[in-house]
Structure 1
Amino acid sequence: MFWGTNRELWFVILVISLFILLFPEFEDTGC
C-alpha cells in the first residue's frame, strides 16, 4: 500500500517538473 502511494507521489512530482520545464512561460504569464 505504502509503496504504491510513494510511486504515485513520485509520478506526480515528475509530471509537474516536466510541465514546468516544457512550459516555463505559463508560470510567467499566470493566466
Structure 2
Amino acid sequence: EVIMAPDAAAACNFGIFYIHNIVIIIGLLYLAKL
C-alpha cells in the first residue's frame, strides 16, 4: 500500500480546494454576466 507523507497529502488537499474555489469563482462570474 502507498503511504503519503503528511505534507504531500496536505498539498493534494490544498490543490483540490484551490481548484474548487476557482470553479466557483468562474461560475459566479458567468452567472453575473447573464
Same fold (TM over 0.5): yes
- What stretches of structure 2 of length at least 5 have no aligned partner? 1-7
Higher helix share: 1
In 1, distance between residues paired with 2:15 and 2:9? 10
Provide the identity percentage.
12
1:5 aligns with 2:16: no
- Whichever of the two has the greater Rg, that structure is 2
Computed over aligned residues only, the root mean square deviation of the Cα atoms, in angstroms, reads: 0.9
Q: Please report the TM-score for the alignment, with normalisation by the length of structure 2.
A: 0.66
